Amino acid sequence: MSLSSDWKTAGTVETRHAPQFRLQSVPLRAVTLAEGFWRQRRELNTRRGMPRFLASMEEHGVLDNFRYQSGRKTGQFKQASFISDSDVYKWLEGACWTLVTEDLPELKASVDAVIDEIAAAQGEDGYLATHVPPERRWKGLAGSHELYCLGHLIQAGIAHHRATGEETLLGVARRFADLAVREFGPGKIETPDGHPEVEMALVELFRETGEQSYLDLAGFLLHQQPSEDTYPPLADRDALVGHCVRSGYLCCGGADWYAETGESGIFQTLERLWQDLVQGKMYVTGGVGQRFDGESFGLPYELPNRAYAETCAQIAHAMWAWRMLLLTGQARFADVMELILYNGFLSGVSLSGAEYFYMNPLSAQDYQRSPWFRCNCCPPNIHRTLAMLPGYMFSTSSEGVWVHLYDACEALLTMPDGTVVRLEQQTQYPWEGEVELIVTPAAEVEFTLFLRIPGWAEAAQVTVNGQPVSAAVESGTYVELRRRWQPGDRVQLSLPMPPRVVEPHPRIAEVRGSVALARGPLVYCFESVDSPAAEILDLALAPTDAAGGFTAESEPELLGGVTVLRGTGRAVCSPCAQLDELPLYRSLGSRSLPPRHDVTALAIPYYAWANRGPSAMRVWLPREV
């Protein structure tokens, strides 16, 4: 086995030998979260989310499925969901990315034990899918998720290797991947799995091992028509279609393939699909997934408030956004990644860290998170995403150092030419828009510090050592601070965060005449527990300016510490018999509506809803004009 010796310095995506990546990922171990927003969540993920989920997997027999296979236990595969192998792999991946930055002997022991069970279950020829009886191998690829499970196994194996330098799980993954290489390809099995995922994993396995056949198989699968559906291969798609998670993972695979090969048609496709996403198929929360039927994309501008918006779909699209960012260095991709992470993704996990949403609606009643699902893809996907999140914050390039996300942390970044710079972020982001960056190269050195000015930020300001910079500071771009940096240089970034009233595109029927609130990267919502005077159902807003008359107020005791938006809403009597009795449909002008009156309205960050018992929630409220 010829493994890259660079495991300690690889990011979660290894960009260094891929010609098309403009930016380089940074290794997780280069970033240390300080007391801030994401550290709190990543800690909960480590201390509560992952241990509890492992215990639940044991309780539900998910690990027993491997033991039945190895003969260590007698019994038969018994999960309701046939993808439960992949749940284990995603959990492992999350645990391993966590071990990169945390010294946790207990977690390490759990990882070792789980890997041992997996390795023992592998077949002589490398095959490993506990839910597929021998005679069904590769026979039902449309629904079997065999390659999908292989993909997650590969990603777990790579994470384990990059975390520990150990090759046990990576070896298991390679043996299964080698089998796939032998059995899939031109003139062999030519139909890919119904659920893309293995493509990006195979590219990464090529990066990790240098073995060309993995890249070749990724490319082959990527250019075939997926077996489950009637949709064309990726390169032939004009629009986002079908199952959102499948589509998102396939786009990640396409981006990784393009990064290695420079096949320009694939990149043009990805650009086209990206436009389709942001111009008509993404919720204001960054949610992806308009339809319940098929967990699928809908038409452009079809965005019902009872969104499906599966947590996994948000994760897949954040992963895709990050890859597009690495390829291009364009801030529009970082904007979407940030939007998803703080909103549509983060709502997927409770403040307690161990209960999850599968769907992330924009309007709901009594919808609650759950610690366990029959189809359990989302929880361990959250685990691995929170574990690898520090890797999304920075990049390097030949030009210098890039800051994509703001949060209290310290990073030791190595540029491609070997220049090392220590970067410290001091900030209360996302609650406050002031970010101080302390730049500490080993010695004075010239490079560009690229600071992302979020698309939502108006009138951002940047100073270096107190002096305004001459570089252009425009929202939705990176401000480029090129200079000879001295140890201890201080950059002050100021991103004003007034509450923002957001209007939807006039083509979105489902939110026509409505507005939403946002502040900084956070989208807000109204929850019935905060609205004693007005049922959420009948609450309206009458914004007269861009901030809607709302003010931001820090509430350290509320919901783990949040900044709320307080302002004036317009309510009818509550409960309002007059509205209850109003006919569902009436002739224009035939009835007068009950008058509305002012009430105090309180909005909380969307990610924090449904943490105080059953409630009704709305992101969009009607605009009273």
Q: Which of 282, 331, 337, 497 binds a second copy (CB under 8 A)?
A: 282
Determine which one of 211, 295, 310, 527 is catalytic. 295
Q: Which of 109, 113, 238, 292 binds a second copy (CB under 8 A)?
A: 292
CB 316 within 8 A of CB 324: no
Comparison of 179 and 457: residue with beta carbon closer to a second copy: 457
- Asked whether position 502 contacts a second copy by CB under 8 A, the answer is yes
Q: Which stretch binds a second copy (CB under 8 A): 59-67, 210-218, 275-283, 343-351?
A: 275-283
How many residues bind a second copy, per CB under 8 A? 58
Largest CA distance in the chain: 79
Upper half-sphere CA count for residue 469 (Cβ side, 13 Å): 24
- Asked whether position 538 contacts a second copy by CB under 8 A, the answer is yes
Task: Decide if 576 is catalytic.
Answer: no
- Asked whether position 291 contacts a second copy by CB under 8 A, the answer is yes
CB 90 within 8 A of CB 381: yes
Q: Is 86 helix (H, G, I), strand (E, B) or coil?
A: helix
Nearest to 85 by CA among 47, 38, 121, 49: 121
Q: Which stretch binds a second copy (CB under 8 A): 31-39, 136-144, 209-217, 286-294?
A: 286-294
Beta bridge partners of 453: 477
Pairing mode, strands 562-571 and 551-555: antiparallel
- Asked whether position 513 contacts a second copy by CB under 8 A, the answer is yes
Query: Residue 187 has what DSSP assignment?
Result: T
Comparison of 302 and 480: residue with beta carbon closer to a second copy: 302
Which residues inside 572-601 make contact with a second copy, applying CB under 8 A? 579-590, 593
Q: Which stretch binds a second copy (CB under 8 A): 75-83, 296-304, 384-392, 410-418?
A: 296-304
Beta bridge partners of 417: none
- Asked whether position 503 contacts a second copy by CB under 8 A, the answer is yes
The minimum distance between CB 508 and a second copy, in angstroms, equals 7
Contacts 24+ apart (CB under 8 A), 472-481: 476/331, 476/332, 476/335, 477/331, 477/453, 478/329, 478/331, 478/402, 478/450, 478/451, 478/452, 478/453, 479/450, 479/451, 479/453, 480/448, 480/449, 480/450, 481/448, 481/449, 481/450, 481/451
- Asked whether position 474 contacts a second copy by CB under 8 A, the answer is no
Q: Which stretch binds a second copy (CB under 8 A): 58-66, 77-85, 252-260, 273-281?
A: 273-281
Query: Residue 385 has what DSSP assignment?
Result: H
Site string for a second copy, 542-571 (x = CB under 8 A): -x-xx-x-----------------------
421 φ/ψ angles, rounded to the nearest 5 degrees = -135, 135
- Asked whether position 138 contacts a second copy by CB under 8 A, the answer is no
The minimum distance between CB 624 and a second copy, in angstroms, equals 10
- Asked whether position 8 contacts a second copy by CB under 8 A, the answer is no
- Asked whether position 1 contacts a second copy by CB under 8 A, the answer is no
Task: Decide if 377 is catalytic.
Answer: yes
Comparison of 304 and 430: residue with beta carbon closer to a second copy: 304
- Asked whether position 463 contacts a second copy by CB under 8 A, the answer is no
Query: Which tokens sit at 568?
Result: 């004036």
Using only C-alpha atoms, the chain has a radius of gyration, in whole angstroms, of 25
Query: Which tokens sit at 401?
Result: 């150092």
Comparison of 97 and 358: residue with beta carbon closer to a second copy: 358
The minimum distance between CB 367 and a second copy, in angstroms, equals 10
The minimum distance between CB 148 and a second copy, in angstroms, equals 23
Comparison of 182 and 507: residue with beta carbon closer to a second copy: 507
End-to-end CA distance of the chain: 68
Q: Determine the Cα–Cα distance for residues 171 and 453; give it in Å rounded to an integer.
A: 42
CB atoms within 10 A of CB 357: 25
- Asked whether position 511 contacts a second copy by CB under 8 A, the answer is yes
Q: Determine the Cα–Cα distance for residues 322 and 452; give it in Å rounded to an integer.
A: 14
Determine which one of 251, 312, 377, 378 is catalytic. 377
State the DSSP H helix or E strand holding residue 112, giving kind and residue range, or none if neither. Answer: helix 105-121
Query: Residue 61 has what DSSP assignment?
Result: T
Q: Determine the Cα–Cα distance for residues 312 and 37; give it in Å rounded to an integer.
A: 22
Q: Determine the Cα–Cα distance for residues 455 and 476; give it in Å rounded to an integer.
A: 4
Query: Which tokens sit at 14?
Result: 């290894």
Comparison of 230 and 587: residue with beta carbon closer to a second copy: 587
Q: Which stretch binds a second copy (CB under 8 A): 251-259, 261-269, 289-297, 408-416?
A: 289-297
- Asked whether position 515 contacts a second copy by CB under 8 A, the answer is yes
The minimum distance between CB 457 and a second copy, in angstroms, equals 11
Comparison of 64 and 538: residue with beta carbon closer to a second copy: 538
Comparison of 113 and 299: residue with beta carbon closer to a second copy: 299
Buried b / exposed e along 172-190 (16+ C-beta atoms within 10 A): bbbbbbbbbbeebbeeeee
Residue 449, CA distances (Å) to 178, 262, 479 in order: 42, 27, 8
Q: Which stretch binds a second copy (CB under 8 A): 92-100, 103-111, 483-491, 513-521?
A: 513-521
Q: Which of 384, 500, 519, 570 binds a second copy (CB under 8 A)?
A: 500
Comparison of 139 and 512: residue with beta carbon closer to a second copy: 512
- Asked whether position 348 contacts a second copy by CB under 8 A, the answer is no
The minimum distance between CB 304 and a second copy, in angstroms, equals 4
Q: Which DSSP string do the residues of 245-281 spell out, in sequence order?
A: HHHHHHHHHHHHHHHHH--HHHHHHHHHHHHHIIIII
Comparison of 52 and 306: residue with beta carbon closer to a second copy: 306
Write out the residues near a second copy by the rule CB under 8 A. 278-280, 282, 284, 291-293, 298-299, 301-302, 304-306, 363, 365, 456, 458, 500-516, 537-538, 543, 545-546, 548, 579-590, 593, 620, 622, 625
- Indicate which residues carry an active-site annotation: 295, 377
